[in-house]
Amino acid sequence: MPDRDHICKACDGTGLLADDEFWQYTCTVCGGDGIMMPNENPEPAVPFSVDDNNRVLE
């Protein structure tokens, strides 16, 4: 189990996020691994696509 200080606060370590319609997608902050190290950049490497309802397209 990773140190609680390094768990991604956006997804609470699950690696998944859900929108208001409960569609689940990979966490865009940690990249889906559930861990954020202090030197990691939370910005995605490349912009991601969304649909008309702002749902992430994978």
Instruction: Please report whether residue 31 resides in a domain.
Output: yes
So what's the pLDDT on residue 1?
A: 52
**Residue that wins the pLDDT comparison between 1 and 30:** 30
> What is the H or E stretch that residue 25 is in?
strand 24-26
Instruction: Please report whether residue 43 resides in a domain.
Output: no
Instruction: Please report whether residue 10 resides in a domain.
Output: yes
Instruction: Please report whether residue 41 resides in a domain.
Output: no
Could you list the residue range(s) of the whole structural domain that residue 27 is in?
Answer: 1-35
Instruction: Please report whether residue 14 resides in a domain.
Output: yes
The model's pTM is 0.66
Amino acid at 32: G
First to last CA, the chain: 28
Q: What is the pLDDT of residues 12-58, one digit of tens each?
A: 999 999 888 888 888 888 888 999 988 888 887 788 788 888 777 76
Distances (CA, A) of 22 to 4, 48, 55: 26, 19, 11
